[in-house]
Each structure stands twice: as C-alpha cells, then as structure tokens.
Amino acid sequence: MRSQASQASLKGSLRLGNYLKRLRQGYGYSLRRVEERARAEGGEIDNSQLSRYEKGICYPSFDKLRVLASVFNVSVQAFSDVVDLEEFEDLKPISTDVEAVRQQGRDALKSGSIGEALACYERMIDLLHELPDSQENRDLMVSARASHSAALVRLGKLSLAEQELRHALREHEGISVQRKAQAIYALAKIHAEQGDLFLAEMEAEKACGYAIEAEDRLFEGRAVHSFAYILAERGNYEKAIERYQEAASIYAECEESFEATLVRICIGDCFAEMGKVREGVRILRSALQEARQAGHQRLEAQAWSNLGVAYFRQGDLRRARGCFRESDALAHHNNQPHPDLLFFNSFYEWRMAAEEKNPTREKIAFGRLKALRSNVERRMNEVEQFDAHVERGRNHA
C-alpha cells in the first residue's frame, strides 16, 4: 500500500470501513454472521472488531484482511486499492447539483484528471442516495456507477471497477435499456482488458442489442468499438480495422471526439502490428495531434507509447526511446500515474536495453517493471511476457 495505508494503520480508514460494510450488507450478513464465516475460514474476527473496522476506528491487520477477503470473495489487493483512493477524498466537489457534478466529472475524465473525476462521481452517488426512488434516479445511479467504474479502470483498479458495475446491475433492477447498455458495455471493456475475450464478446453483443433497442447511437458505437478491440486482441487486424472504422463513423455522427481519437490510435496500432509501420506511424501521429489539441492527455500518452512500439519494430531505438519518455511524462500527469502505460513503456525500455547490451539500463528497467507489476491488473502481451520471464527465472534459481 501507499503512505495512506500506513496512516490508516494508526487511525483506521473510513473509506475501507464503508467498503467492508457494503460488502457485508451486499451478502446480507450480520456482524455475528461474519464472525462465524471468519471462523469457518480459519480466522478469528469477533463482531466488535468488525464494527470498529467499519466505523474507521482502527485498521485490520494483514491476517484479518486475508480472512475478510475469503469471507467476501474479494482479493486482498482490493482492500489496498480502496485505501489508496483516500488521497482523492479532498477533491470531492461541495455542490449539491447532481447534473453540475456529473458534468464536472465528465470534463475531468476527458482531461486526464482521473482522481478528480473519481471524486465527482462518488459525490454524485452520495447525492443520489439522498433522493427519492424513481426510474430517473435509478438510471442516474447506474450511469454514475458506470462512470465511476470508468475512472477506476483509468487508475488501474479493474477489480474494483467490475465490483462497482455488478453492484449497480444487482441493486437497480428496472433500469432503462439505455443504462443497461452503458453498464454491460463497461463490463465488456473490463473483461476484455482482463483477457476474458469470450465473456467480453458476449457482453459487447448484449450491450449492442440494448443500445439498438434504445436507439442510442453512442453506446452502439462503443459496443462496436469493443468488438474491434476483441478482434485486435485475437490478431485479426484487418477485421478489427473495419470495425474500428465503423465505430469511428458512429462517434463522428455523435460528435464524440475523445472516443474518435482513441479509435484512430487503435487503427494506427493495428497497421503497425500488420507490418504496415509507415501507415501506422502516420495515423498515430495524426491521432497524437488530435489528442494534444483537445487536451486529452491520457490519449496523448497512449499515442506516444504506441508510436514508440512502431519505431521499436523498425529498429529506430533512438526515436522509440524518445516516444516512451514523452509518454512517461504525460502518464504522471497531476501526480496521478497510469500504471498500465508506465509498465508498457518500461517493458520496451527493458527490451531495448537488452538489444543494446546495456546491463545497467536493463537492470533499471527491470526494477521498474517489478515495482509496477502489482499495480497492473490489465492483461496484455507485455505483462504475460514479463510474468513468463520472471517465472523462468524462479524455475532456474
């Protein structure tokens, strides 16, 4: 955990307490029932201890967290992630206008201020809890949770993001087909990034059906975007480009510049993967300019990363290294690092150092990869290659 975790060990964590309480209530457990379940898992957590944890009075030991993770079927990392997010508490807006807070969250998400976006959507959820139950408010709650999930994904907290969406779909039955499309599309995106392409494809198809039923072209475009991503992950780049172009057309119709730029980055990457590197570089540089002009710093960092890989494939290591450094600088925007991009960049720095037979650089890059690995939940080829390398090293030790 970060420094927040060490502080929490002294005074407890209200955020973690609320998370534990929500897990317990989601299972329909009383404090006494959790005590019984903990004993069945081979641990000891009496109900008075759990009550103090939930109130944020004190912080559970690692052994207690391990038992609670088994009781609630979550990872210990999820608890660490929850505590990490406390650093964004002070960014919550004070406004009581739900729509104003929602718009502030959208603007922050697009500009790359992910912590601010997360805080805005949490504030929106808090405000909606105070409003009477109605179809409109249920739809708004699902939309807020889906957007909150999107912010968690950008911070690399995929497991928490998935829990948020499942919680929204479970608690808010009777929501509109448009909101079902939004939530299930977001689930498809998470499962694709976790490497479960079969499940992601089924969810994208379901989300697309709901979007068409709701006559919501934007979410229809996002579902098509998911299909394209899945095709690319499977190595079917020509078909992926066709679907990306279809998604781009819908985004243009909806005047959705952020998504349109993201699609162009993906298309450029597909061309580079197919060996058409010059065309890939041309498209990526064009997308880079679009992202910069629109102030989409996450997309700008992603474009620099993909350009770096394209140059790496051409054997132009000087240009590749320059691209990865530009991406690293943007990936630390507002002290809110994007661990997936930082890992991706470090992986290729490691590869380049090995090719150049520079053991010092190779060792530094490998150290960065080890430090970043625990914060990367996204499954990508670079993660799998690194994990395989580490495993081989253990086997030969």
Residues 29 and 73 in one domain: yes
Exposed, middle or buried by CB within 10 Å (0-12, 13-18, 19+), for 310?
Answer: buried
Residues 18 and 79 in one domain: yes
Contact 355, 329 (CB under 8 A): no
Residues 260 and 302 in one domain: yes
- Token duo for residue 192: 């694709």
Ranges of H-type helices in 85-134: 98-111, 114-129
User: Considering 323, 354, 369, which residue would you say is the last residue of a domain?
Assistant: 323
Residue 73 within any structural domain of the chain = yes
Residues 274 and 345 in one domain: no
Distance from C-alpha of 306 to C-alpha of 293, rounded to nearest angstrom: 18
Distance from C-alpha of 300 to C-alpha of 281, rounded to nearest angstrom: 14
Predicted structure pTM score: 0.75
Residues 6+ apart with CB under 8 A from 44: 38, 67
Residues 48 and 85 in one domain: yes
CATH code of the domain in which 48 resides: 1.10.260.40
Residues 10 and 79 in one domain: yes
Instruction: Give the pLDDT confidence score for residue 4 in this predicted structure.
Output: 45
Residues 315 and 355 in one domain: no
Containing structural domain, residue 79: 3-89
From first to last of its 397 residues, what are the pLDDT tens digits of the chain? 444 444 444 467 888 888 888 888 878 888 888 888 888 888 888 888 888 888 888 888 888 888 888 888 887 878 888 888 888 888 899 999 999 999 999 888 877 788 899 999 999 988 988 888 888 888 888 889 889 998 888 888 888 888 888 877 876 667 888 888 888 888 998 998 888 899 999 999 999 999 999 999 998 999 999 999 999 999 999 999 999 999 999 999 999 888 999 999 999 999 999 999 999 999 999 999 999 998 888 899 999 999 999 999 999 999 999 999 999 999 876 666 788 899 999 999 999 999 999 999 999 999 999 998 888 878 888 888 998 988 887 766 5
If one counts the domains in the chain, the total is 3
Ranges of H-type helices in 254-377: 257-273, 277-294, 297-314, 317-331, 339-355, 359-373
Distance from C-alpha of 214 to C-alpha of 175, rounded to nearest angstrom: 12
